[in-house]
Every structure is written in C-alpha cells, then in structure tokens.
Amino acid sequence: MRLATAVAVIAVALSTAVYVHQRHVWTSTVTSVQSKSGDGAVTGRDTFARVSHRPAWEDPAAVLIAIGGLAVAARLVAFRPRFTEPS
C-alpha cells in the first residue's frame, strides 16, 4: 500500500511540475494608430497583439514541486513504523 501511494505521489508531483513548466501566459495589448491623409483627414485604427510569455518563477517552482514529490515518496517508502509487542 505504501509503495502504491508513493508511486501516486510521484506521478502527481511530476505531472504538476510538467504542467507548470509548459504553461504559457497570454497578454493582449491594444495600440491605436492614427494616420493623416493628403487632404488633412485623420483616420485611426486599433491593432491588437497577443503575446505568449512565461513568468520567471515557473521553472524554479516546477523543479521544487518535482523534488518535493520525490522526497515525500521516499519518506513514505523508507520510514515504516516499527511495531513492538507490548510487554
């Protein structure tokens, strides 16, 4: 039972770490562009830009999640309670 729980902890930790590492945050910006034609009329239009970026905290967080999951799994497997007979 402990081994199955440890494997489950490792699977959840590593999948969470991969998700955090690979996710992208999208930022949308709107810029107005105005142009003046030859007859003095001013026309304007908006342009939209969508940029994908990754925040700086994501890679260290992914590493810590993976290491933490491995540490918890090792704790589950390595340290078994020792039962003694009552005297």
Position 82 pLDDT exceeds 90: no
Mean pLDDT across 11-33 = 86
pLDDT at site 14: 94
Interior CA angle at 22 toward 18 and 25, to 5°? 135
What pLDDT, in 10s, does the model give residues 2-13? 889 999 999 999
pLDDT at site 12: 96
Mean pLDDT, all residues of the chain: 84
pLDDT at site 87: 62
Position 48 pLDDT exceeds 70: yes
Of 70, 33, 71, 69, the residue nearest 49 (C-alpha): 33
Separation of CA 76 from chain center: 25
Q: Tell me the three-class secondary structure of 6-44, residue by residue.
A: HHHHHHHHHHHHHHHHHCCEEEEEEEEEEEECCCCCEEE
Of 58, 74, 80, the residue nearest 9 (C-alpha): 74
What pLDDT, in 10s, does the model give residues 57-81? 888 999 999 999 999 999 988 877 6
